Amino acid sequence: MHVRRFACFLLGVWFAGCVIASWLGMQNPSTADRILTRLSPEAARHLRDIPQQQASALLRYAAAERSRSLRVHWDTLQIACGAFFFGYLLFASREGKWSLALAAWMFAMVLLQRLYITPESTDIGRMADFLPTANAGVYHNKLWVLEEAYLLVEAAKWAAGLTLLIRFVSSSGRSGDSRENLHMVDKANHRHIYR
């Protein structure tokens, strides 16, 4: 039972990290506009020589770089989470092939995100950051497709994780090795004893 509780705890920590990383990533794009509307007098004095459009583009670029950096670091951390979770289920529990397959699927989804989708979207995003809007349309379309792919992979990972969580919680309250704790002892001077 403790094995499954700890597995549920690991999934909860992993998913909480996903929610926090997503929330932080959504906050970054609006940072540039928020900074420009709330400039301190000192910052306004330094930025008055820069045209508003250029200052806004630089701040948006900084916010986008922050979001990209956050995603790279979070995806790298998820690889460690996925490897640990799969290793825990493989070596510390008696979970069946189905649970191990779901954990391996989650790990594969994280690898797909980190090794393909995130680097590709980072490169395309950097190319599109300073292009005029008319020329950036193709890059923005590619970036949109990659963002949708990232969300689909994330949804597949969450579906596998929630399936595991439901499996752990609803499995009649016993871990896979609970039956081994009960052995019948048959001795000549005793009746059947269950210990």
Summarize pLDDT for 19-29 with one digit per residue, the tens: 999 998 888 77
d(CA 76, CA 18): 12
Percent with pLDDT over 90 in the chain = 47
What pLDDT is stored for residue 53 in this prediction? Answer: 78
In the predicted structure, residue 180 carries a pLDDT above the cut 90: no
> Taking the alpha carbons of 72, 73, 74, 78 in that order, is the dihedral positive or negative?
positive
**pLDDT for residue 118 is more than 90:** yes
What is the Cα gyration radius of the chain? 25
Of the ranges 6-10, 50-54, 63-67, 183-187, the best mean pLDDT one: 6-10
pLDDT at 179: 47
Does residue 154 carry a pLDDT above 80? yes
